[in-house]
Copies of this chain bind each other. A is one copy, B any other.
Amino acid sequence: MAEKSAGSAANVAHVTLTRALALGSRQPSIKDIARLARVSHPTVSRALQNSPLVSAETAARIRKIAEEQGYRASAVARGLVTRRTRTVGLIVTSVDDPFASEVACGVEEVASDRGYAVLLANSHADPERERRVVQELAERRVDGLVVTSSRVGALYLPLLKNLDVPIVLVNDQYPGEFVHSVTIANQEGMRAATDHLIGLGHRRIAYLGDSNGYRSDTERLAGFQEALADAGIDFERELAVEGDGRPEATMEAMNRLLRLKRPPTAVCCYNDMTALSVIRAVRAHGLRVPADVSVTGFDDLFFAAYLAPALTTVRHPMRRMGQMAMENLFKLMSGQESIAQIKVGAELIVRESTGKVPKRGRHHGQ
């Protein structure tokens, strides 16, 4: 009756032996277990699901045999009959993007807590590819879908019924609005950053954005302009420049700003990655941050606090957004009441990359 407790190598020999008794090489099926336990397979199914419809003794015996055989019910067979795979798809621009991976962490966390698995796919910020990936995940019959930084966004609306898969967007980048999404207070966040710079005496403040037409960029720029307007500062077009996501392009954009007749004394960057390159370009010009140029980021990625100078930036709860998206997706999947739009706050974190405006333009021979 009392078997040796698992874990020892000797015990493994035993398992292999009984396995050999049962069948050839393939994994045991529910019928194999049923045969060994001298019951019907539905009884095995019930026993393994702790159904009250099976007597304690037989249930115990069945479980023991299943254990010995290393039996694990096939999720694919179960999925076929239950029509639910307990799997969600997660589409990110790229897993190695710090923002995406934080969100992914949040999603995985609450999904796995509830016994759901996560199918991961990269869109590489390519709408074409994003669509294809959605189709592939639909083919795998995921129960739901989380898409971060989607560039398809509202264009999913026509497909939604056809697909029969609930979708929640995180940080939707499409101009139009999607049904279910978790978004960032982009405008408010960038406004706070700009206000901070204005408060430090800056008047010539640049915005270094992104040329890919992301909604977050549009909204952040709007917050920037709003702050200027409210402070009575004219928005000068030459101070709004764009990179394209590549460090080189960002540095080049920053170089253009620094070559201006009247260069800015501060730069609001679209995000932290942009700020990284901006700081680099500033230094390459022999200038200092923040003594000559103040710089702000957006996102508060984990390394922001470790930079020298530590980056003043706008924080939003990336991981929490992933959690919320997944929690909301669960509601959608179970047909419960769900929240359509969730907007998370963005908080200014003042560190060392911003400082008082220099007394006078000390660089470029001014």
A101 proximity list for chain B (CB < 8 A): 95-96, 101
Give A33 to B190 CA distance when docked, in angstroms. Answer: 52
- Which one of A6-14, A50-58, A194-202, A228-236 contacts B? A6-14
> Which residue of B has the minimal Cβ distance to A109?
B122
Across the interface, do B138 and A72 meet the contact criterion of CB distance under 8 Å? yes
- Which residues 1-26 of A sit at the B interface, judged by CB distance below 8 A? 1-12, 14-16, 19, 25-26
- Which one of A38-46, A75-83, A216-224 contacts B? A75-83
Contact of A164 among B11, B14, B27, B302 (CB under 8 A): B27
Across the interface, do A162 and B15 meet the contact criterion of CB distance under 8 Å? yes
A112 proximity list for chain B (CB < 8 A): 121-122
Across the interface, do A12 and B117 meet the contact criterion of CB distance under 8 Å? no
Give A14 to B283 CA distance when docked, in angstroms. Answer: 57
A137 within 8 A of B: yes
A291 within 8 A of B: no
Across the interface, do A1 and B77 meet the contact criterion of CB distance under 8 Å? no
Contacts A7-B340, A27-B164, A118-B121 known; A95 to B104 CB distance under 8 Å?
A: yes
Across the interface, do A161 and B121 meet the contact criterion of CB distance under 8 Å? no
> Which residue of B has the minimal Cβ distance to A188?
B2
A15 proximity list for chain B (CB < 8 A): 158-159, 161-162
Across the interface, do A1 and B345 meet the contact criterion of CB distance under 8 Å? yes
Residue-wise, chain A 336-350 has the 8 Å CB interface mask toward B (1 for contact) of: 000111111100000
Q: Kindly provide the distance from the CB of A67 to the nearest chain B CB, expressed in whole angstroms.
A: 11
Across the interface, do B96 and A102 meet the contact criterion of CB distance under 8 Å? yes
The DSSP consensus for interface residues of chain A is mixed
> Which residue of B has the minimal Cβ distance to A2?
B343
Q: Kindly provide the distance from the CB of A267 to the nearest chain B CB, expressed in whole angstroms.
A: 16
> Which residue of B has the minimal Cβ distance to A26?
B164
Contacts A96-B104, A158-B15 known; A342 to B303 CB distance under 8 Å?
A: no
A73 within 8 A of B: yes
Give A22 to B160 CA distance when docked, in angstroms. Answer: 17
A98 proximity list for chain B (CB < 8 A): 96, 98
Residue-wise, chain A 106-119 has the 8 Å CB interface mask toward B (1 for contact) of: 00110010000111
Residue-wise, chain A 74-105 has the 8 Å CB interface mask toward B (1 for contact) of: 11110110010101001000111010011011
Sampled A-B contacts (25; CB under 8 Å): A1-B343, A1-B344, A3-B343, A5-B339, A6-B340, A7-B179, A9-B158, A12-B160, A15-B162, A16-B161, A19-B162, A26-B164, A72-B135, A73-B139, A95-B95, A95-B101, A96-B102, A96-B104, A96-B319, A104-B120, A105-B122, A108-B120, A108-B121, A112-B121, A279-B308
Q: Given A4-B340, A4-B341, 10 other A-B contacts at CB below 8 A?
A: A5-B341, A9-B179, A74-B139, A76-B79, A76-B80, A94-B105, A96-B104, A119-B120, A280-B306, A307-B308
